[in-house]
Amino acid sequence: MKIDKARYIAENFDDVCAKDRVFLNNPVIFHSLGIAPLVVMDTSGRNALMLFAAVLLLLPIVRVVPMLLMEHFGEKARPMLVCGVAALAYIPVYFILYFIFQKNLLSLGIYLPMLVCEPLVIQRFEHTLDAGISQTVRKSIGFTLGYGLVLFVLGLVREFLALGQLFGVQVTKLLFFPLASTPMGGFILLGLLAAVWQYGLIRYKKYVNMEAKRTV
């Protein structure tokens, strides 16, 4: 890494992290968002793809539209406005998803409609909406990509450990960890994934600081 870049990152590490919503400021690992569908439903590559498509379609609408309507409703009505927009947006999103995935969508059970109340989609009510539209759109795209990354990594790992498959293709007959397809296994594996991720962040920070202190 170039010394100037390393010094800039080392001096502004928190700001750099805040802007990177895929790796350094992942919504799941560092904000604990969207955990319910990850733990219960993200048990295969196919489920990960369906959940990612749902979040990709829902999240930008639910983040941007309430922002535009807020001035007509006021801050006190924000929770109802956001959830109402999410529930309404869910209707066309559901049709689009069904058109793409057909009856496979039923395997997501109640966790697909539950995205309407998921903090990842509706954002926590404790935080105020003071960002502009472009920043909100960038944030929502970043969050979607970050969530998608965790979805696919966890889903594929769980599918491999529990069934010996990847995206439905049998890779091995050995079932290393059948518990991986259950919610208990989901909690534990997501915890281990979060630990590995945090370890990566710690190492990255050390690396950047070392590079910044280099004189040559």
Partner 1 sequence: MSTVFHDVSLFLLYAVLAVFAQNAIFTRSLGVSRMIALVEEPSLNSVLFGGLLVAVQLLAAPFGWAYATYLAPLIPASTLIRAAVRPLAYILCSFLAMGIVWLVLEHGIRSPRCSELKMLLPLATLNCCVLGTLLISGSQHYTLAQSLGFGLGSAVGYLFAVLLVTEAQRRLRTDAIPPMFRGLPITLIYTGILALAIYSVTGHMLNV
Partner 2 sequence: MNKKNRVPAPDAGARYYSDVILCCIPVLIMSVFFYGLRPLFLSFAAVVTGNLIDRLMAFLRDRRYDPHEHSSECFALVLALMMPASVPYYAVVVAVLACDLLGKEVFGGVGCYPFHPVAVGYAIACANWPDLMFRFPQPMTRLPLYDLSQVPLIDGADMALRNGGLPSVSSLDLLLGNFTGPMGSTCVLVILACGLLLALRKDLDLVSSCSFLAACAVFVWLFPRLGGVSFGLPWQNLGVRLTMLRYELVANSVIFSAVFLLSEPVTRPKTRQSRIIYGVCLGVLTMLLKYHGSRETGVAFALIIMNALSSWLDRAVMLLTARKEARRLENR
| DSSP notation for the chain | --HHHHHHHHHTHHHHHHH-TTTTT-TTTTT--SHHHHHHT--SHHHHHHHHHHHHHHHHHHHHHHHHHHHHH-GGGHHHHHHHHHHHHHHHHHHHHHHHHGGGGGGGGGGTGGGGG-HHHH--TTS---S-HHHHHHHHHHHHHHHHHHHHHHHHHHHHHHHSEETTEE--S--S-GGGGSHHHHHHHHHHHHHHHHHHHHHHHHHHHHHHH---
Chain residues that interact with partner 1, rule: CB under 8 A = 29-30, 32-36, 39-41, 79-80, 83-84, 86-88, 90-91, 94-95, 98, 109-111, 113-114, 116-120, 122, 124-126, 182-188, 190-192, 194-196, 198-199, 202
Least gap, CB of 164 to partner 2 (angstroms): 14
The item of partner 1, partner 2, none sharing an interface with residue 177, based on CB under 5 to 8 Å by kind, is partner 2
Least gap, CB of 105 to partner 1 (angstroms): 9
Q: Which of 92, 168, 178, 200 binds partner 2 (CB under 8 A)?
A: 178
Closer residue to partner 1, CB minimum distance, 8 or 149:
149
> x/- binding map, residues 131-170, to partner 2, per CB under 8 A?
----------------------------------------
117 binds partner 2 (CB under 8 A): no
- The amino acid present at 168, given as its one-letter code, is G
Least gap, CB of 208 to partner 1 (angstroms): 17
Contacting positions for partner 2 (CB under 8 A): 176-179, 182, 184-185, 188, 195
